[in-house]
Structure 1
Amino acid sequence: MSLGLIAGASLGAPLIAGGKFQDPLDAPAQATRFVTTTHLGAIARAGSRLVAVGMRGLIVLSDDNGETWRQVGSPVSSDLVAVRFVTARQGWASGHDGVVLATLDGGEHWTKQLDGRMAAGLLKAHFGELAASGNTNAVRLLKETALNYQSGPAVPMLGILFENERDGWAVGSFGTILGTSDGGKSWMSWIEKVDNDKMLHYNAISEVGSDVYLASEQGTLFRLDRPRQRFTAISTGYNGSFLGVIGSRGYVIAYGIGGSAYRSRDDGASWQRLSTGVHGSLTAACVLDDGRLLFVSQDGHLIVSRDEGDTFQVLPSARLGLITDVAAAGHDRVALTGLGGMQTVNLQ
């Protein structure tokens, strides 16, 4: 189970209006004065702007590198745990209840492109059609996906990635992965395009160079084989869950539970365990403009490496607490999201 799933599991409380239940998928996020102290799950740069998302559909923007923040409207009240931009204006966010939101104006306005109800319907139709034609694997996947959605649109989309304005994926628990080739206007199943018979969770989806990785459980990564249009499994020798993948030219690092990090310099053929110096789960990472690697941990630590993971230095942070994501916020500064909201840290 990913950090996003754990952290948000108790936050999606039913909304009551006039004594009636409102589905979070149909209820816009409520306005709050506590935009910097409410639980935030993820952050990304949109050109010079920072965009963060979090609890009950909260979306906040900063145009001064994290000094001040303002809330914008969100069409849902489901918890949001991931956000990505491909240009300064076009981006996506995803989260609980299978939600995928899109923006075309740098985060000022958002529309819902996908939710768990829609995903359940399209997967049932897709695998039902394949099963009717005699595809035995589709019969199994039809049963698996029916179990996933038997209690409603509960499968979260824990990660979102777009390579450009059109091609992207949303990934989540129980082997759920949907793809789009039209910017999210329509979605299709990629479940059968991953070597994941165990239906392991996908905790994140990341792009390193020209490669796309799924971070999963049981020490497993999945990498996109572009000619085959299929994700193939990579074993790292680790037994725990990975929460993300980071890297640059010449190396890739998968990180996760208990401060674990594994590096490969040979396209995943072999992996070396790195000594991070922390024991809290590594929840997010970024490559800074000068090439330094920065990781943040569940228990509030920041660790930096200047040598591609050979050594790490633990940095002081403004306050300890669960950190969920990190993004550059000007020269030698980063913005952090977490259970306690937003904080900025000077890396000097």
Structure 2
Amino acid sequence: MSNYKFGAGLLALVMGSSAQTVWGETPPLEYEISPHHVAIFDISTTDKGNYAVGERGVLLSSSAANPDAWKSQRLPAPQSVMGIAFGTGGHGVAVGHGGVILATTDDGETWTSIDASDHTRGDPFMDVAHLGDNRFLAVGAFGLVMGSDDGGLSWQPVSISEDYFDRHLYTIAQAGGDWLLIGESGSLFVSEDAGNSWSRLESPYEGSFFGGLQTPDGAWLLYGMRGQIWRSEDRGASWQKSPVDTKVAFNAHGIGPGNEVYLFGNGGQVLVSEDDGRHFAPSQRSGMPGDITAASRLNGKWLVGSTAGVRLWQASGE
């Protein structure tokens, strides 16, 4: 999973058989897909290469040696693909609209469509994460949470609350040894045991958060709509607001070369903090058209995905 998540999930929600099927060869494209003219919703970087998923089942991939030379393929699903994550041994998972789950065992060369329709009701998945070993977790709309213990080949519903819960979950974030589930209406859950059990946390904000992280100094940071950024030094027991002079939604994050905290948002806006997320100031604009949805540090630059494609970007002064 990339360092992010994800107001574009909210945008994508308003955009638009029982046997498993496998595409042993890359499906043909009706036309060449430009990496700068397709909506990208998630990116993942591994030692094998770089991957970006987006609208209408598009997968872009590039090699570690040539990260900006993208090749395109169609995944075996016509729906928008919202999240992608890789584990070990070639295993990876991509999830998306319509309850789509796709699995690979060969580092993304071929993909298998996994039928979980009995549990998803066709609701969209918004994110997927590798929790360690062969375990993956996927979350989505209306409280949808499912887990896999076999590298993504089979899936079961996961209960995160004793009470009825039907809010959208936008992202799964790792915070040190903990995992966070983050979503709309202040939805916030934490797991201290690698996703085996979940507890609900009191949110500092009643609106939607789109991402979270653990800062270099060990604090937790949440960010989301209307420029909301909140920081906790006691694992969510109390929160302090990081003031910013913007109402833009922030959807993605990353850690810079000097432990700066970067936040990426709508309209290509970028904020940077040099004091571990207590305060943020505008960085120079990324120049990315559209809204930034995903970001990952790569070879001294930023690999940035947006609703207008994927490309490399370098912040001034780096």
SS in 1 for 2:303: strand
Q: Measured at CA, do residues 179 and 319 of structure 1 come closer, stay the same or move farther in structure 2, by a change above 3 Å?
A: closer
Partner in structure 2 of residue 43 of structure 1: 43
Give the corresponding residue for 2:82: 81
C-alpha displacement of 1:293:
1.6
TM-score, normalised to structure 1, is 0.78
* C-alpha contact 1:73 1:109 (8 A) present in aligned 2: no
Partner of 1:325: 294
Give the Å deviation of 1:10: 2.5
Contact 1:300 1:319 (C-alpha < 8 Å) held by counterparts = yes
Q: CA deviation at 1:300?
A: 1.4
2:273 maps to what in 1? Answer: 305
What is the alpha-carbon distance in structure 2 between the residues aligned to residue 101 and residue 298 of structure 1? 28
* CA gap 1:304/1:91 in 2 versus in 1, 3 angstroms: farther
Distance 1:228 1:87 in 2: 18
Distance 1:208 1:185, change over 3 A: same
Cα distance in 2 between the residues matched to 1:199 and 1:220:
10
Shift of 1:110: 1.8
Give the aligned partner of residue 99 of structure 2: 98
Deviations 1:296-339, CA, capped at 9 Å, x for gaps: 102210122222112223222123421111112211x1121112
- Give the letter for the 2:308 counterpart: G
1:164-175 pair list within 5 angstroms:
164-175=132-143
Counterpart residue identity of residue 44, structure 2: A
Q: 1:50 offset after TM fit, Å? A: 1.3
Indicate yes or no: 2:195 matched with 1:234.
no
Mapped contact 2:22–2:111 kept (Cα < 8 A): no
Structure 1 equivalent of residue 57 of structure 2: 57
Deviations 1:23-56, CA, capped at 9 Å, x for gaps: xx99968454123111111111112521000011
Structure 2 vs 1, CA of residues 293 and 195 (structure 1 numbering), >3 Å: closer, same or farther?
farther
Which residue is 1:140 aligned to? none
The alignment's C-alpha RMSD in Å is 2.6
State the structure with bigger RCO (CA 8 A, min sep 6), 1 or 2. 2
Taking a change above 3 Å as real, the CA distance of residues 261 and 189 of structure 1, as seen in their structure-2 partners, is same
- Size of the alignment, in residue pairs? 300
Q: TM-score, normalised by structure 2?
A: 0.85
Q: Judge conservation of contact 1:236–1:262 (CA < 8 Å) in 2.
A: no
Residues in 2 aligned to 1:277 and 1:119: alpha-carbon distance in whole angstroms = 42
Partner of 2:3: none
Partner of 2:264: 296
How does 1:9-28 map onto structure 2 within 5 Å? 9-11=14-16
Give 3-state SS (helix, strand or coil) of 2:286's partner.
Answer: coil
Q: Secondary structure at the match of 1:163?
A: strand
Q: CA deviation at 1:208?
A: 1.5
User: In structure 2, do the counterparts of structure 1 residues 65 and 285 end up closer, same or farther at CA, with 3 Å as the change threshold?
Assistant: farther
- For 1:277 and 1:186, locate their aligned partners in 2 and report how far apart those are by CA, in whole Å: 46
What is the deviation of 1:221?
0.9
Give how far 1:118 is off. 4.1
Q: 1:269 to 1:195 in 2, by over 3 A?
A: farther
Give 3-state SS (helix, strand or coil) of 1:229's partner.
Answer: coil
| Contact 2:7–2:250 under 8 Å retained in 1 | no
For the 8 Å contact 1:293–1:309, the answer to whether it is kept is yes
What secondary structure sits across from 1:6 in the alignment?
Answer: helix
Alignment of 1:239-318 (within 5 A): 239-248=206-215, 250-288=218-256, 290-315=258-283, 316-318=285-287
AA aligned opposite 2:11 = I
In structure 1, give the amino acid aligned to 2:228. Answer: S
Please tell me whether the aligned partners of residues 41 and 81 of structure 2 are also in contact (alpha carbons under 8 angstroms). yes
Relative to structure 1, the CA distance from residue 2 to residue 194 in structure 2 (aligned partners, 3 Å threshold; closer, same or farther) is farther
Give the Cα separation in 2 of the matches to 1:314 and 1:70.
33
Q: 5+ unaligned residues in a row in structure 1: which ranges?
A: 12-24, 121-148
- 1:158: how far off? 0.4
- Distance change >3 Å, CA 118–CA 246, structure 1 → 2: same
Instruction: Spell out the pairing of 1:184-199 with structure 2 (5 A cutoff).
Output: 184-191=152-159, 193-199=160-166
* Whole-angstrom CA distance in 1 between matches of 2:261 and 2:66: 20
Change (3 A) 1:109 1:277: farther
Would you say 1:212 and 2:211 are equivalent positions? no
Q: Percent identity?
A: 27
- Of structures 1 and 2, the larger Rg is shown by 1
Contact 2:211 2:223 in 1 (8 A): yes
C-alpha deviation, 1:171, in angstroms? 0.5
1:240-286 CA-to-partner distances (Å, cap 9, x unmatched) read 11111111452111111111111111111101111244321111112
SS of alignment partner, residue 218 of structure 1: helix
The 1:34–1:228 alpha-carbon spacing in structure 2 relative to 1, beyond 3 Å, is closer
Aligned residue identity for 1:10: M
Displacement after TM superposition at 1:196 (Å)? 4.9
Report the alpha carbon displacement of residue 97 of structure 1 after superposing the two structures with TM: 0.7
Which structure is higher in helix share? 1
SS state at 1:47 partner:
coil
My pick for the range that moved more, 282-291 or 75-84, is 282-291
